[in-house]
Structure 1
């Protein structure tokens, strides 16, 4: 009797545990049923011209018939792409990814009731990978935005889209991380992506990411994959950023972003010690563009920006995210560390130039030498041709690096241009010799230099005399 009772209690416990576990899982059915009608499938077609070789008439007669089609005039070849989107207003405005409609000559939108519409592209934004399109329809079901800033890691989210053309497929997962910095092909970094483990595949691009309230908190944009399909690393554009971009596209067909005019890099442990920080954080200013908002506000190379307009800057990727979302013309406060001291400056945010270009590349050069001094560096004046090429007007050129010496340990190479040692600017050879002579021993110090046209900060420690 006792044995039977124990078995009964054990079975009852298992059933109760399973029931409790089931009650703890989210229910997606109503969310998906209520919101699927506002999710659309997008087909775009771009007509690309095929290239043909054009031989002189006297040679055509020698071409075998089987190859004569290669000599025909160029033709238009349609290239199709597939994506998703979602309706944000009853009069037919639809949000999707820029890469879904980029370059398209024809965009077709299919609704859940199988109606098809030709869509007009209202505006696109490459930097955020967002696009706004419109169809000629009324009284359409549409989605509401949620607050992506309230998302927490571990929170359940749902995606609806057309992966591999499989219409209106739903998938669920959790938020894996927030604020992921992933530069695009142009090395721009204006989107703090939401990372999830939701199954996102080709065709989901541009589709909505929902919170459990059925509000859109993200736009599915890209995945990390080695197979072409989902491996649990997907990234969505936050709704808080998307709403501003979409509003600007609707109003003026373009997006104006805030601009500071600095080149930045991360702060590592050694740099933090050298700059007087208790721990690594902030964005280290490696370069300030002449005449830019940062320059006018008095920000200089070597400053570490720790807070911008009240927002903490934990790593360098945080700064472009926040500056880009700041309205041009706004006056904001910037907290920074300079030579181990806290400072606050006021800056009027500019407008990011639309023709912003990347810095070029240079090759290292310079004859070798056997003398290196305290730093183990052979330096010389910068040739005028190199100054003009890279737009530098001060510093010294590294001609050779002695192995095992402080310069080599800091990672300097021939061709680098040293612009700052410690907290002192290096204008020419005379400055360099004076600064090196006065540098303290056995202390981590910042060193700023240009390599291949790119400004860089590192730390250097001088050998004991």
Structure 2
């Protein structure tokens, strides 16, 4: 036994050496791989002349008295230094800051961004926020040539803009690729004007697709770890074939610099917007005329939909295209114009991208069965006004209504006094909520006094007894939740699923 030990030790030492050699081989290959594919340089060289800098200026009123601060592009390394210097220096009269006691004087502010040429006739795509409110816009070509540009059209909802300028020489234009074909981990290249350093090339991978970061109604960003910084806005994101697959629009960063969380509008969206802006100077989006909400697991269980999917129709516009097509509140849209609808955002994007006036098939689930409806789309009118929820004033002098409890709610018949107290329109029918148990599921789902229950389990109700009867029956049937159709005072509907056990 003892004689075998030296041989075993020698074998272990040899194995250790072999493992060390193997590890060294693996480690030595990492730096070479980390540089990325060899094609990056070739691609960048091919497309860089199509990438431009966007310079804008705007006249603003500013207080005089402390001397003019040099106009530096946002993100410039010297911006913070000059900002501190001019704000903290003493101006005339000894006042600190130099801006007290002075007169308002017009001055120019400058900013820089990025863009790219999509037509050799001088058509440029950039972000709307790069050129918003600008009095003058200039396009700076890769060789330094500076040309004045004008706005063809903008779309605030996707933060895109199209510019046009007169080419001083033959231009290089780039084409859009198919962003839907991007794969996670695929290499991409960002070219732009970060911190005023024009013609900067960075590379990274596609970190995620279809990101919704609550920046707009049609969020579906490409996430990338390619370095994107201030000044990159409006610049292109390329695949290795030199096709534009996105427009770099924003970053998430606590410092203002790149931490590997950059977001680009996908080319599929950009191409459609650019086409319409060139044709019409504005966006003409499709309109279905419904209000929709998420199909939660509880709502899906109540509607016998497995798995939870689609967009739940909470309301139908009386003047919209969905009304004559027979789409009703409670329908769940699972397919639109041949495209699957996974959630409400999907439906919003698909409808908006569909041509106005086109007849499409809409597949809905109604009471557990699939039905197909044909709808001719209308045009969505832009409305940036936010609808305010009517306040529900307290009126302690009104006669206390007769109430009944169910589902953690105090329920009462809709009387004239209650309509007046909670500002309920005459067109709203159902049972009014006069109180909510703070520890109930209803409170968690944000039901409140003044809400009106219109339907329970897709059946209309007119009094509290109807609701209690329906809930008791669902309990006997072993249901875990009940689906309520709830209206506010203005008649706007939403669905709420509450636990019944």
2:483 is equivalent to residue 446 of structure 1 = yes
CA–CA separation in structure 1 for the residues paired with 2:203 and 2:413:
61
RMSD of equivalent CA atoms: 3.3
- Which residue of structure 2 lines up, in the alignment, with residue 457 of structure 1? 495
Q: 2:61 aligns with which of 28, 46, 49?
A: 49
Shift of 1:323: 0.7
2:324 is equivalent to residue 313 of structure 1 = no
Q: Secondary structure at the match of 2:231?
A: coil
2:432 is equivalent to residue 397 of structure 1 = yes
Instruction: Specify whether residues 450 and 235 from structure 1 end up closer, same or farther in structure 2 by C-alpha distance, changes over 3 A only.
Output: farther
Most deviating of 245-254 and 437-446: 437-446
CA–CA separation in structure 2 for the residues paired with 1:355 and 1:17:
57
1:11-410 mapped onto 2 (5 Å cutoff): 11=21, 14-15=24-25, 18=28, 22=32, 25-27=36-38, 28-50=40-62, 74-137=104-167, 138-184=169-215, 188-355=216-383, 357-365=385-393, 371-375=403-407, 376-381=409-414, 383=418, 393-402=428-437, 407-408=442-443
CA–CA separation in structure 1 for the residues paired with 2:140 and 2:495:
52
CA–CA separation in structure 1 for the residues paired with 2:454 and 2:365:
19
Instruction: Specify whether residues 50 and 237 from structure 1 end up closer, same or farther in structure 2 by C-alpha distance, changes over 3 A only.
Output: same
- Which residue of structure 2 lines up, in the alignment, with residue 60 of structure 1? none
Q: Contact between 1:378 and 1:401, CA under 8 Å: does it hold in 2?
A: no
Shift of 1:282: 1.0
Instruction: Specify whether residues 337 and 369 from structure 1 end up closer, same or farther in structure 2 by C-alpha distance, changes over 3 A only.
Output: same
Q: Secondary structure at the match of 2:234?
A: coil
Instruction: Specify whether residues 115 and 9 from structure 1 end up closer, same or farther in structure 2 by C-alpha distance, changes over 3 A only.
Output: same
Query: Which ranges of structure 2 fall in alignment gaps of 5 or more residues?
Result: 1-10, 65-91
Aligned length: 446
Instruction: Specify whether residues 154 and 95 from structure 1 end up closer, same or farther in structure 2 by C-alpha distance, changes over 3 A only.
Output: same
Superposed CA deviations along residues 19-71 of structure 1, whole A, max 9, x for unmatched, are 5983694121111111111111111112123589xxxxxxxxxxx97799977
CA–CA separation in structure 2 for the residues paired with 1:449 and 1:210:
47
Shift of 1:190: 2.1
Superposed CA deviations along residues 326-374 of structure 1, whole A, max 9, x for unmatched, are 0011111111112222211111111101246432222345567794333
Q: Secondary structure at the match of 2:176?
A: coil
